[in-house]
Structure 1
Amino acid sequence: MSYAIIGFGNIGQALARAFARNGIEVSVATTRDPESFASTANAIGLTIIPKKLADAIKADIIFLAVRFEQHPHVAKALPNWQGKTIVDVTNAYGVPPEELNGQPSSKAVAQAFSGARLVKGFNHLAAADLGQDPAVPGGRRVVFLASDDDAAAVEISGLAENLGFAPIKLGRLSEGGLLVQARGNRWGQLIFKDLVKFDG
């Protein structure tokens, strides 16, 4: 299984730290030349591999960590995303609901990435929290996941576990998934909730 993070701002770098902590190789890419962010990637860890966008999207599982408004541009990098799992880490705060035809933002992302399996996840934590070691005394930091594809949700739940997080599945995108999505100028109820699941 191969992994990539598209977008290397604060959230993309926080995700990269999670991979680096666990010695898992992940490609990182932006629309810029990889040399422009190679030093930042190298500083995070040896398993963080800067690549051109066209090369990074060859990965099996792709974390979409760009601004919501940029997702259609990334989606155009392939005519069809069949066989890939997209983890939607975007937040559509400030995007008028009418621009999304009243649907959850993750549905719009799923439509843009035609053929892909989509999981909404890792988007509810601020970058500073997401970038920290999720292991805390007696427990692990929670990440929420939502998907209309049960198998994809199980796959990303397993990856979250491997990264040290405690995944909690919220159900479908238009049901529990709404708890981690912005709607216009309102955040979902679970956005920014830094929760811990205690063992035992």
Structure 2
Amino acid sequence: MRIGIIGAGALGQALAVRFVAAGVEVLLSDSRSTRCLREFADSIGPGLTPVTVAEAADPEIVVLAVPWRELSETVAAAEVSDWQERIVIDTTNPLGPPDFLVVDLQGRPSSEVVAGSVPGARLVKAFNTLAPALVGADPRTPAGRRVIFLSGNHAGANNRVARLVEHVGWAAVDLGPLADGGRLQQFPGGPLPTLSLLLQP
């Protein structure tokens, strides 16, 4: 299995660590420091390859893990003319500089805005409700497996992402379509962000 991660900040790196540990090949891109990205890849070892944004957008499953303010620029750098064959995992939250102020989306769920940036993609919202430190930690604890919420409008894509989540060791909870699940995951405003749950054995 091979996935692309666009964005090598705290969350992108946390996801890369967990995916590689589970035997998933990761193509990781970052638009800022190529040197730091290479150093991070060297620290992880085989299974993680530093690439360009366009190369990270090539696999069937692509994770968007960039700050909200960089969304448009990043999608443009991906140089994808047709997202239709891809599942895009949206980890973003609508927070902007300088002090993580909430971006006014005029009542629209953030996932709806992201979906409009990647037309044709089967978008699944996931990994946006937990701090990167929790995402990067071992998903299996003595008390149970850490829950990852996801939602999307394409049942097949939701199932693919849920299988990926379970493969890594987390417990997937599918919240259904974005109109409902996306609002539950919305940060800020939804009830699920920062809620860390464990599925007991």
Q: By the TM > 0.5 criterion, same fold?
A: yes
Does structure 2 conserve the Cα–Cα contact (< 8 Å) formed by 1:142 and 1:197?
yes
Q: Amino acid of the residue matched to residue 132 of structure 1?
A: A
| Unpaired runs of at least 5, structure 1 | none
Corresponding residue to 1:157 among 138, 162, 165 = 162
Aligned to 1:83: 85
Match of 1:69 in 2: 69
Matches within 5 A, 1:91-106: 91-93=93-95, 94-97=101-104, 100-106=105-111
Alignment of 1:131 onto 2:146: no
Offset of residue 36 of structure 1: 4.1
Give the whole-Å Cα distance in 2 for the aligned partners of 1:60 and 1:116: 10
What is the alpha-carbon distance in structure 2 between the residues aligned to residue 44 and residue 130 of structure 1? 16
Task: Specify the alignment match of 1:197 in structure 2.
Answer: 199
> Is the contact between residue 62 and residue 84 of structure 1 (CA under 8 Å) also seen in structure 2?
yes
Q: What's the offset of the Cα at 1:120?
A: 0.1
Q: Which among 181, 185, 189 is matched to residue 180 of structure 1? A: 185
**The one of 112, 115, 120 aligned to 2:117:** 112
Residue deviations 1:19-63 (CA, integer Å, cap 9, x gap) = 122121110001246444111122123211111112111111011
Question: Which residue identity is paired with 1:191?
Answer: P
Structure 2 gap segments, 5+ residues each: 96-100
Q: Which runs of 4+ in 1 moved over 6 A?
A: none
1:147-188 CA distance string (max 9 Å, x none): 011111001000000111100011111212211112xxx342
TM-score (norm 1): 0.91
Q: Percent identity?
A: 38
Q: Which of 137, 145, 148 matches 1:140? A: 145
So what's the TM-score if we normalise by structure 2? 0.91
Query: 1:114-156: per-residue Cα shift (whole Å, max 9, x none)?
Result: 1111000011110111110000114200000010111110010
Aligned 8 A contact 1:106 1:173 in 2? yes
